[in-house]
Amino acid sequence: MNKEGAIGVYDSGVGGLTVVRELFSQLPGEKIVYVGDTAHVPYGSRSEAELVELTRRIIRFLLAKGAKIIVSACNTTSSVAIPQLEKEFPVPLVDVIRPGARGAVAATRNGKVGVIATEATVRSGSYQRAIQTIEPSIEVYAQACPRLVPLVEKGTLQGPEVEEALREYLQPLQEKGIDTLVLGCTHYPFLQPVINALLGPGVAVVDPARETVAEAARLLREQGLIYADTSRYRAHEFYFTGPADSFEKIGRSFVQLRDVEVKKAEI
Ligand code: DGL
């Protein structure tokens, strides 16, 4: 491995761009190779076996493109697949769950944390485990939100459909008295203005992206693999396995990449 290697990032679609935005901010010299697996989105309703196999194929693809570290910018595969694949590859695999859990533990004052996530993430119990490993007394309430990823992928980030779905998903958590909400799916920060408006100022909203990228930076620093020279432009690579419409509609402007050319990948 050398410094020139890329940071490999993947998700089922545009969700991982919420982590890429944070990578651009914290590690501006690094080259990003991104895979959005839109041929198989949504991941949240897939089986564990499918998710492990898709993740394995994506990581192989990213390694072939020169990744020196992989950031799993997907809570679903971070919950279900990464724990099984951790020892299979020669580079560090960074998940979003443990960093997200750390952010939630730091934010809560009353010890009641809500998590919104996909069905597979909620079923895995990953956030409950990760949060209670750090602080066993914290009560964790997880809510599956299957309607949200399809809305974000079609580029609908506000309006009645989004508000109605979010109201339905957030209400049970508000009734539990949470003071902290983890955005346990990387697609959800796209909906954060509506989420903030519905929750009001009394609930801290945690996007695991910041802690996740801090963790990746720490691992790279430890191994002497940070590429910090921002004076040399290195072209990022963005691959989608299916349609890239969501990238064109909401993703490109979100990560401010006017010129990057999107390529097709077979996974
Ligand atoms: N954005 C991903 C996550 O964080 C995947 C969502 C999906 O495809 O269902 O879980």
pLDDT tens per residue, range 136-145 = 999 999 999 9
Instruction: Say if residues 130 and 101 touch (Cβ distance below 8 Å).
Output: yes
Identify the band that residue 234 occupies on the pLDDT scale cut at 50, 70 and 90.
confident
239 Cβ closer than 6 Å to some ligand 1 atom: no
Q: The domain spanning residue 260 has which CATH number?
A: 3.40.50.1860
For residues 111 and 138, what is the distance between their CA atoms, to the nearest angstrom? 5
| Ligand 1 center to 116 CA (angstroms) | 11
74 Cβ closer than 6 Å to some ligand 1 atom: yes
Whether residues 225 and 185 fall in one domain: no
Instruction: Say if residues 137 and 168 touch (Cβ distance below 8 Å).
Output: no
Averaged pLDDT for residues 66-84: 98
Domain end among 161, 188, 208: 208
Domain end among 208, 231, 256: 208
Identify the band that residue 231 occupies on the pLDDT scale cut at 50, 70 and 90.
confident
Would you say residue 43 lies in a domain?
yes
What atom in ligand 1 is closest to the CA of residue 73?
4
Whether residues 33 and 91 fall in one domain: yes
| Ligand 1 center to 13 CA (angstroms) | 8
Whether residues 83 and 214 fall in one domain: yes
Whether residues 184 and 258 fall in one domain: no
What atom in ligand 1 is closest to the CA of residue 117?
10
143 Cβ closer than 6 Å to some ligand 1 atom: no
Whether residues 183 and 129 fall in one domain: yes
Q: Report, in angstroms and rounded to the nearest whole number, the Rg of the chain calculated over CA atoms.
A: 17
Would you say residue 250 lies in a domain?
yes
Q: Which residue of the set 14, 54, 74, 144 is catalytic?
A: 74
151 Cβ closer than 6 Å to some ligand 1 atom: no
Domain end among 192, 208, 224: 208
Domain extent at residue 88: 6-95+210-264
Stretch among 75-84, 200-209, 217-226, 252-261 having the lowest mean pLDDT: 252-261
Whether residues 120 and 55 fall in one domain: no
| Ligand 1 center to 75 CA (angstroms) | 6
Whether residues 90 and 121 fall in one domain: no
Q: What is the pLDDT of residues 200-230, one digit of tens each?
A: 999 999 999 999 999 999 999 999 999 988 8
Per residue, the 3-state secondary structure of 198-220, as one string, reads HHCCCCEEECCHHHHHHHHHHHH
Q: How many domains does the chain have?
A: 2
| Ligand 1 center to 149 CA (angstroms) | 7
Whether 74 is a known active-site residue: answer yes
Q: What is the pLDDT of residues 14-27, one digit of tens each?
A: 999 999 999 999 99
42 Cβ closer than 6 Å to some ligand 1 atom: yes
Would you say residue 203 lies in a domain?
yes
Would you say residue 101 lies in a domain?
yes
44 Cβ closer than 6 Å to some ligand 1 atom: yes
Pocket-testing residue among 119, 186, 212, ligand 1, by greatest number of atoms within 8 A of Cβ: 186
Predicted structure pTM score:
0.97
What atom in ligand 1 is closest to the CA of residue 96?
4
Would you say residue 1 lies in a domain?
no
| Ligand 1 center to 123 CA (angstroms) | 14
Q: What is the pLDDT of residues 100-130, one digit of tens each?
A: 999 999 999 999 999 999 999 999 999 999 9
